[in-house]
A and B are shown apart, each in its own frame.
Chain A
Amino acid sequence: MAVATAPPPSSPTPALPAAPADVRPELSRRGASVLATAMFVAASAMATGALVAAALAVDDVPGPWRPKGVDLSTYLPNMLVLTAVMSSFSAAWMLWAVRRDDRRTAVTAGGLTLLLAVAIANGQSYLMTHAGLKIGANAFSTLFVLFIGFHLLHAIAGVVLLGVVLGRTIAGQFSADEHDAVAATTLFWHWANLVWLAAYGVFYVMGK
């Protein structure tokens, strides 16, 4: 044994008493996807906070936060807030149904959530391209496009995840005991809606 000046053992290590048999770890992944999603949401929350902080810092400089000549219609954003709230309820309904092993209701709720999510993604992309604001016009416009784009990314990811979860629900892959993917997707979707509410607050409430 090539030990050089390593500390000499005071006594040999006794033989290891083994732990219970289930130590041999093909470890359960239960909870892994929910935990990973929660951590992603935490990271995304910090990014959202940074965007809000940047907007507040820009608002802090002398002059109006929303430049003169920028007129933001509130009809579509208000509809999107309503849609986001409804989709959060329907996502929670889907999770509730899966937990009760009620596949039919889960498919209905999942389909409704997916439909609303597509509407949100579509509305956001319309908002981003038709609000008349471009990166580079001024700080407000740049932050608007980046913040809405940030939410749009969440919405698109949500559509994909909800689609996968709906497909797996239809295929009967979830049960009351095994529904981590549904819980994780629901958590993500709630967060995506909160990102939109943050953007709405910054640009349509604070920007009035």
Chain B
Amino acid sequence: MAITDTSHETDAEAPAAPPPEPPVPPASAGRAPGAADKLADHKLIGKLHLALALVFLLVGGVVAMIMRTQLAAPDLDVVTNVDYTRLLTLHGTYSLFLFLLPAWIGLATVLVPLQIGATRLAFPRLAPLALGLFTSGGGMVLAAPLVKGRVLGTGWTLGALVARRAQAPGDGPELLMLGLMLVAGAVIVAAINIVATIVLLRAPGLTLRRVPPFSFSVLVSCAMLLLATPVLLVGLGLLFADHHYGGRVFDAGRGGNPLVWARLFWFFAYPAMWALVLPAFGVLGEIVPVFTRTRLGGNRAGHAMVTGAMVAIGALAFVGWGSQLPGDPSVPRWFFSATSLAILGPVAVLLLTCLASLRLGRPQLGAPLLGSLGIASVVLLGLPGAAIAAVAPTSRMGNGTYWTVAVQHYLFFDAATLGLLTAIVYWAPKLWGRRLPEGAAALGLVGVILGTHVTNLSMYVLGLQQMPRHTPRYPTHHSWQAANVIATAGGCLLGLGLVAFVAAAGAVIVRRRAVAGDGETAGGGDPWQGHTLEWTTASPPPPHNFDVLPEVRSERPLLDLLDVGTGG
């Protein structure tokens, strides 16, 4: 059957579809699902990814709170200087590799087939493989600080393992490297699966240009990860050979070059950071139009602008990595300053297009829109900081001070985390068949948004005061104290918001409050009047996802139906 034939575009004025055919019963109808069926169910595997990410969010959150407590007042001795740098390494590693990566991949695994009208992933068995790799790799990373040869730290770039190989012997660092290799393998496997699903299994009429913003952002994001992660894998392989076998690749005294690791790492990490924030932009592009009852940017061109901006971000991210290496003499600084500045252009276009919907539509407040506004505010405050850091990378507002920490948190980690929470609020009916309690979800989101701003604005101030990043303590008389106290308070607020959010989600899963009390039927379970295909099926979706699909004539097929229904 020609479901993948999407070679020709049809527009809203296209002739009507042929008369509806009776639904074909699902292949698994009439028999109870076995273990193999369950493992092939993308929704279950995706939710398991999310559960794994939640565990690491909690662990990483505790680590972050210990670090913030250490800096709450001058000369505190909550942890030693060495332990502080170790925690720094673990905080970054957990946040990127074990929380954001599996969380977005999990959410995409659940939602992408639903959004594009597919019954399954392109390679259903690869999804459990990715989960297994994430779990085993995450376990090894988690165990690394506990075994002999403890992990040294100068942050999540793992540079200490290169610079101080002799001082970091033992199994801990190697366990960390091997664990990260498995995680990198999981990312590659999952990216191949998701890209293949979007390319091959779209519903008829759903051309690439009509793929919903979230799925499109996932497509670009996975393509970026697919190209960037192998570079990390090679870097880790060289690092492991260097550490375990004395490989000398980073040893300047034996013909090596110590800068190799930093270059390989940032060639991966810079695109990866953008790849993790892109789905948050996709969430923004999904929710704002739904809650303003309009199209992206108020017209049909808005969708093209947003997806075009995503592609531009994806391309530019691969030529901006050198901006993170201002100390590398062979890196052309002007070029990377220009590219890291240029990438902010499509981000601004994307953001403004989404925000234009607010002005042109009829906004109706709800927790998902609140979260979306939070994402927009976080990115808006991160953009100028990133622009200044790009123009003057060696100034007090460049690399080396808390200014960079604020930019990285604002623009990447916090925007991505907030995007993830907002996505969970919006798509909770598809995940668990029921909505999160509006009040509790909104309270959690407000806590996270306010905490993010308080913490990061304080870190901007610390950057202006030239507090070096990675500083484990400071003297009593120093001017850094006030901003550090406020940043710690912001961190507490953020933590409380996260706890409230997780509690709300947990309560819903346990209490099983249904979306509709009269039992779910196909087409029910759409509390938001969504615009995309996932809202045409029940909440939670049946194992085969869809009983029937509407004809797709634009990027927002259900909005088309509403327009027809209201004569709009």
Please provide the chain B residues from 1 to 34 with a CB less than 8 Å away from any CB of chain A in the complex.
1-4, 16-18, 20-21, 23-24, 27
B148-159 near A? 1/0 per residue, CB < 8 Å: 000000000000
9-residue interface stretch from A57-65, A95-103, A117-125, A190-198: A57-65
Residues of A with C-beta under 8 A to B241: 135, 142, 146
The answer to whether B27 and A51 have CB atoms under 8 Å apart is: no
Q: Does B217 contact A (CB under 8 A)?
A: no
B236-278 near A? 1/0 per residue, CB < 8 Å: 0110011001111101101111011001100100000000000
CB proximity of A36 to chain B, nearest CB, Å: 6
Residues of B with C-beta under 8 A to A30: 4
Q: Does B453 contact A (CB under 8 A)?
A: no
Q: How many residues of B contact A (CB 8 A)?
A: 94
The answer to whether A51 and B234 have CB atoms under 8 Å apart is: yes
The answer to whether A61 and B257 have CB atoms under 8 Å apart is: yes
- Which of these, A24, A27, A61, contacts B4 with CB under 8 Å? A27
* Residue of A11, A13, A14, A29 with highest tally of chain B CB at under 10 A: A13
Closest B residue by C-beta to A135: B245
* Residue of B200, B201, B330 with highest tally of chain A CB at under 10 A: B200
Q: Does B474 contact A (CB under 8 A)?
A: no
A4-23 near B? 1/0 per residue, CB < 8 Å: 11111111111111111111
* Residue of B24, B248, B438, B517 with highest tally of chain A CB at under 10 A: B248
Residues of B with C-beta under 8 A to A61: 252, 255-257
| Given A54-B260, A60-B257, A7 and B291 contact (CB-CB distance below 8 Å) | yes
Q: Does A140 contact B (CB under 8 A)?
A: yes
The answer to whether A16 and B227 have CB atoms under 8 Å apart is: no
Contact-residue bracket for chain A: 35 or more
Instruction: Give Cα A13 to B248, complex, Å.
Output: 66
The answer to whether B260 and A20 have CB atoms under 8 Å apart is: no
| Given A14-B564, A136-B248, A42 and B526 contact (CB-CB distance below 8 Å) | no
CB proximity of B441 to chain A, nearest CB, Å: 10
Closest A residue by C-beta to B227: A46
The answer to whether B192 and A39 have CB atoms under 8 Å apart is: yes
Residues of B with C-beta under 8 A to A5: 365-366, 438
Q: Does B196 contact A (CB under 8 A)?
A: yes
The answer to whether A24 and B566 have CB atoms under 8 Å apart is: no
The answer to whether B438 and A57 have CB atoms under 8 Å apart is: no
Instruction: Give Cα A205 to B290, complex, Å.
Output: 59
Q: Does B233 contact A (CB under 8 A)?
A: yes
Residues of A with C-beta under 8 A to B526: 13
Q: Does A26 contact B (CB under 8 A)?
A: yes
B547-568 near A? 1/0 per residue, CB < 8 Å: 0111110000010011011100
Q: Does A32 contact B (CB under 8 A)?
A: yes
Closest B residue by C-beta to A63: B255
Q: Does A137 contact B (CB under 8 A)?
A: yes
The answer to whether B548 and A23 have CB atoms under 8 Å apart is: yes
- Which of these, A16, A35, A53, contacts B196 with CB under 8 Å? A35
Q: Does B47 contact A (CB under 8 A)?
A: no
The answer to whether B365 and A24 have CB atoms under 8 Å apart is: no
- Which of these, A19, A26, A42, contacts B551 with CB under 8 Å? A19
Instruction: Give Cα A51 to B247, complex, Å.
Output: 14
Q: Does A1 contact B (CB under 8 A)?
A: yes
Q: Does B221 contact A (CB under 8 A)?
A: no
The answer to whether B203 and A43 have CB atoms under 8 Å apart is: no
CB proximity of A85 to chain B, nearest CB, Å: 25
Closest A residue by C-beta to B234: A50
Instruction: Give Cα A60 to B252, complex, Å.
Output: 11
CB proximity of B326 to chain A, nearest CB, Å: 17
Q: Does B161 contact A (CB under 8 A)?
A: no
Q: Does A201 contact B (CB under 8 A)?
A: no
Residues of B with C-beta under 8 A to A142: 238, 241-242, 245, 247-249
Residues of A with C-beta under 8 A to B123: 32, 36
Q: Does B74 contact A (CB under 8 A)?
A: no
A58-99 near B? 1/0 per residue, CB < 8 Å: 101101000100000000000000000000000000000000
The answer to whether A22 and B263 have CB atoms under 8 Å apart is: no
The answer to whether A58 and B256 have CB atoms under 8 Å apart is: yes
- Which of these, B238, B546, B562, contacts A13 with CB under 8 Å? B562
- Which of these, B16, B231, B548, contacts A47 with CB under 8 Å? B231
Instruction: Give Cα A61 to B2, complex, Å.
Output: 56
Please provide the chain A residues from 146 to 187 with a CB less than 8 Å away from any CB of chain B in the complex.
146
Residues of B with C-beta under 8 A to A13: 523, 526, 529, 558, 561-562, 565
| Given A17-B20, A42-B227, A57-B259, A11 and B566 contact (CB-CB distance below 8 Å) | yes
Binding site for B on A (CB under 8 A): 1-32, 35-36, 39-40, 42-44, 46-47, 49-51, 53-54, 57-58, 60-61, 63, 67, 135-143, 146
13 residue pairs A–B, Cβ–Cβ below 8 Å: A4-B435, A10-B293, A11-B562, A13-B526, A16-B561, A20-B551, A24-B546, A29-B122, A32-B200, A61-B256, A140-B255, A142-B248, A142-B249
Binding site for A on B (CB under 8 A): 1-4, 16-18, 20-21, 23-24, 27, 117-120, 122-123, 188, 191-192, 195-196, 199-201, 203-205, 226-231, 233-235, 237-238, 241-242, 245-249, 251-252, 254-257, 259-260, 263-264, 267, 290-291, 293, 330, 364-366, 434-435, 437-439, 513-518, 523, 526-529, 536, 546, 548-552, 558, 561-562, 564-566
Beyond A1-B516, A10-B562, A14-B564, 15 additional pairs, beta carbon < 8 A: A13-B562, A17-B17, A18-B21, A20-B17, A25-B201, A27-B200, A35-B199, A35-B200, A36-B122, A43-B226, A46-B230, A54-B238, A58-B257, A61-B255, A139-B255
